[in-house]
Amino acid sequence: MHRIATKPGDLDSEKKLESVRQTPADILFISTADTELSGLAQVWGKRFRKKARLTLRLMQANPLQHPAAAEHYADNVLCKAKLAIFRLHGGYGYFPHILDEILHIKSHGAKTRILVLPGTDEWDPELMNFNDYAEPLVRQMFSYFHEGGIDNMELAAEAVELLLENKTGGFPEALKIPTFGWLKDKSGKRNQKSKIGRVWITFYRALQQTGDMAVVEALTEALNKQGLEVSGFYAYSLREIESQEELLRKAEMEPPDAILTMQSFSIGTGPSGGSMDEGSKTHISFLERLNCPVIQVPTSTENREAWLQNPRGFSASNAAMSVVLPETDGRLFSTVVGFKQEQEAAPELEFRSKRLAPDAKQIEHVAELTANWVRLRRTANAEKRVAIILANYPNKDSRLGNGVGLDTPASVIAFLKDLDKRGYCISSFPGTETGATSVSRAESGATVENLEEKIPETGDELIRILQAGITNDAEMSYGKTPEQGISRERLFEMIGAL
């Protein structure tokens, strides 16, 4: 072991060491995208296999996030290759160890030619520090994978052959592939299922290009069984203006009642599609303009067993990409619906491709959840029952509704007034069946005097109402009716009635 450098705060610092068992080859292709690896495995059968003088290894990059695995791979495989191509989603931030190992083996005389490409649609200038080729050539190679599809994988293979001949020109241009589109309804029954509402499923274009559609198809079938009409939309990224414009156009003709998205990360807020004045003070997200629940339906980059054994379910990086960042868009998290499952091995590549396998139970849950959201959306506001729950920290009433620097009581008043304007039934406040003291009145018959039967005007007034009942502040609760507490069973009855 010459060195194992670790960086505090890495997303997957807890990642377990996975042994990397590969023998050296002329060409190495290491990618975080299983769809790309599967596509290149298909291209191998058409092109490289016919040329016995060339050997190829395909590898999923994620194990190389561990420093020991990165060092072992660099010393035993990488340094003996003629050409190594990396496609790393997350760049140096996710793969510091293997990228540092590239510099290490090069400094010790390794003759491997290195080509490091961004793993997303955005150019990453930092990765040029690890490339043996000039930026124009790197961008040309990047274009094949950015456009995607089997045809472009074949063009990339042709370019690789030129690189192995030490040629840096005459590369074919990448074929332009539509970055988004709607799935065709093969059954012809889509419009017959519109019983309770219409939903969209958005997913990555790469799944459609490589036929890795088992999860999408299973989810569609489960939603159909719930009486929902389903439309599938694939896109390279929902951040692309063209994709957003297409969804907005579709929404004008056939507005969705809910959107399920299998796409990770966040879209962000701000003027969408350039349609808003850049100087406008009102910035809304693109998803907000669709005006319906957006449900995050993630898939895991790991297998189901890893998910079951992890107390947190997702690894840190999976959680960041599929839970934390999407929540900044206001998406509603559901649960993971698919896991990576190894397919038949390709011995000559020393590689097993992975495809997404649907989890039937999880998908059924998501379908039921979606149907409930659709029913709720189609319910008149006046018929909806809404509860606002505030924190009641121990010891002091000064901590009621504590929001760490935020004026929570004032926010609640703003919520109530906005709900009232939108037609929600805000009955007398606190009232006999709603509000802060409704529990105490309903359960004990106690009364709270001098309360106006209306929405409080200020946060201070709201706090005064809350303090009329028993709180966790023993001193301030002295003399108040103790029967204001309710049983656990009654609490769940009330929650169930919402």
Residue 436 dihedral angles phi and psi, to the nearest 5°: -65, -35
Of 90-99, 166-175, 264-273, minimum mean pLDDT range: 264-273
233-237-239-244 Cα dihedral, nearest 10 degrees: -20
Higher per-residue pLDDT: 426 or 292: 292
Q: What is the mean pLDDT of residues 266-287?
A: 56
Angle at CA of residue 274, ends 271 and 275, nearest 5°? 85
Higher per-residue pLDDT: 59 or 403: 59
Question: In the prediction, which pLDDT does 480 show?
Answer: 62
pLDDT in tens, 106-161: 999 999 999 999 998 889 999 999 999 999 999 999 999 999 888 999 999 999 98
Write the CA distances from 255 to 189, 249, 259, 267, integer angstroms. Answer: 19, 9, 10, 20
Question: In the prediction, which pLDDT does 128 show?
Answer: 96
List Cβ neighbours of 152 (8 Å cut-off, separation of 6 or more).
144, 145, 174, 175, 177
Reply yes or no on whether the pLDDT at 194 is more than 80: no
Which residue spans of the chain are classified as CATH 3.40.50?
27-164, 180-272+285-378
Residues listed for the chain:
498
Higher per-residue pLDDT: 434 or 102: 102
The topology (CATH level 3) of 27-164 is Rossmann fold (3.40.50)
Question: In the prediction, which pLDDT does 382 show?
Answer: 92
Structurally, what CATH architecture does the domain formed by 180-272+285-378 represent? 3-Layer(aba) Sandwich (3.40)
What is the DSSP code (8-state) at residue 486? -
